[in-house]
Amino acid sequence: MKLSASYRLDSDPQHRVVESLCRELLRSRSDRCVFATDWPHTRFSGLDVGPYLEAILDWIEDEDVPLHKVLVENAERLFDAGQASN
């Protein structure tokens, strides 16, 4: 599950439904969650994504999931990026 672009669901970065969905995903399968930006933010030019990013990162930490796991390790496993090519 890609955790990103919560601003597409609500204008409130701390929206309770978005938060509960994110937290439940992290609790149930943190090994399958990856974080990604939603660049180039189509239809959202000029939007300050900082508060949304901070909320998602806070929820990850609050669920005692290592940031490195969601930001790096899960993506490496998903894309086999940690494996050397022959």
User: What is the tens place of the pLDDT at every residue in 25-67?
Assistant: 999 999 999 998 777 767 777 888 899 999 999 999 999 999 9
At residue 16 the predicted structure's pLDDT band, cuts being 50, 70 and 90, is very high
Question: What pLDDT is recorded for position 43?
Answer: 77
Q: Per the structure, how many domains does the chain have? A: 1
- Inside any domain, residue 84: no
Distance CA 53, CA 4 (A): 8
47-52-53-56 Cα dihedral, nearest 10 degrees: -160
Is residue 33 a part of any domain in this protein? yes
- Structural domain contains residue 86: no
Q: Please report whether residue 83 resides in a domain.
A: no
Task: Give a yes or no: residue 60 inside a domain.
Answer: yes
Domain assignment of residue 31, yes or no: yes
- Domain range for 12: 2-78
- Give pTM, 2 decimals: 0.82
Q: What percent of the chain has pLDDT over 70?
A: 92
Q: Is 85 within a domain? A: no
Q: Phi and psi at residue 56, in whole multiples of 5°?
A: -65, -45
